Homo-oligomer: A and B are copies of this chain.
């Protein structure tokens, strides 16, 4: 028997050598973390209950004991990840800075998120493609949040003539699409140009800078030319 204090998967907050707080990840949490990793890698259809149990180092029955079914566990994880995908952008819109600065910050933050979880976007798109209705019942929440925080700002900027007149539905894809595409096709691009992980990191950073230039150039300059 392993003593409680020796169990792995604890998170300890240490300040100047002293353990301030020590949280023992419960079996339920360990299972969910392991499942998240596997689902992100293999998707819902490609993941078996045994994959999850193996990744967590736990018994095959525990998924159903804690989450009742593979699908219920998946939906829980998907909701978390979709919120991560959406709220990153939304919280930036609250910053009290200029629109151009905001848009650059969105791209930078999006880049940071994808660098941390490169398969997140492909995962979300794949699973929505598979089962849109069940996975996005509350999409309108994010939709309203995003629109509410953008529309006013955009209209004001359009009237002032500092930004191109663009529908809000097109603005976000214009801003984030090109960079997210690179991560969606990560494996293809890596194989295509024979890149290592480190080289891919450099590649995406360069690409991010191209995107910042391209997007701001299009939205904020030469409005009379097109």
- What residues of chain A have their CB less than 8 Å away from a CB belonging to chain B? 42-43, 45-46, 119, 122, 124-126, 128-130, 132, 136, 139, 142-143, 166-167, 169-170, 173-174, 176-182, 184-189, 191-193, 203, 206-207, 210-211, 213-215, 217-218, 221-222, 225-226
Question: Roughly how many angstroms separate A132 CA and B119 CA in the complex, as a whole number?
Answer: 14
Residue of B nearest to A142 (CB): B192
Among B128, B182, B186, B215, which residue has its beta carbon within 8 angstroms of that of A187? Answer: B128
Tell me how far the C-beta of A206 lies from the nearest C-beta in chain B, rounded to whole angstroms: 6
Asked if A213 and B186 sit within 8 Å, CB to CB, the answer is: no
Residue of B nearest to A43 (CB): B45
Asked if B218 and A187 sit within 8 Å, CB to CB, the answer is: no
Contacts A170-B210, A210-B174 hold; do A122 and B129 have CB atoms under 8 A apart?
yes
Copy number in the complex reads 2
Question: Roughly how many angstroms separate A178 CA and B174 CA in the complex, as a whole number?
Answer: 7
Contacts A217-B222, A222-B222 hold; do A192 and B125 have CB atoms under 8 A apart?
no
Contacts A43-B126, A125-B122 hold; do A213 and B226 have CB atoms under 8 A apart?
yes
Question: Roughly how many angstroms separate A180 CA and B124 CA in the complex, as a whole number?
Answer: 16
Question: Roughly how many angstroms separate A43 CA and B44 CA in the complex, as a whole number?
Answer: 11
Tell me how far the C-beta of A203 lies from the nearest C-beta in chain B, rounded to whole angstroms: 7
Asked if B46 and A130 sit within 8 Å, CB to CB, the answer is: yes
- Extra pairs beyond A178-B178, A217-B217, A217-B225 (15, CB < 8 Å): A43-B45, A128-B187, A129-B187, A132-B191, A139-B192, A143-B192, A169-B203, A170-B207, A177-B181, A213-B226, A214-B214, A214-B215, A214-B217, A217-B218, A217-B222
Question: Roughly how many angstroms separate A193 CA and B172 CA in the complex, as a whole number?
Answer: 12
Residues of B within 8 A of A179 (CB): 177
Task: Supply 9 A–B pairs (Cβ within 8 Å), ascending by A.
Answer: A43-B45, A122-B125, A132-B188, A136-B191, A139-B192, A166-B210, A169-B193, A173-B185, A221-B222
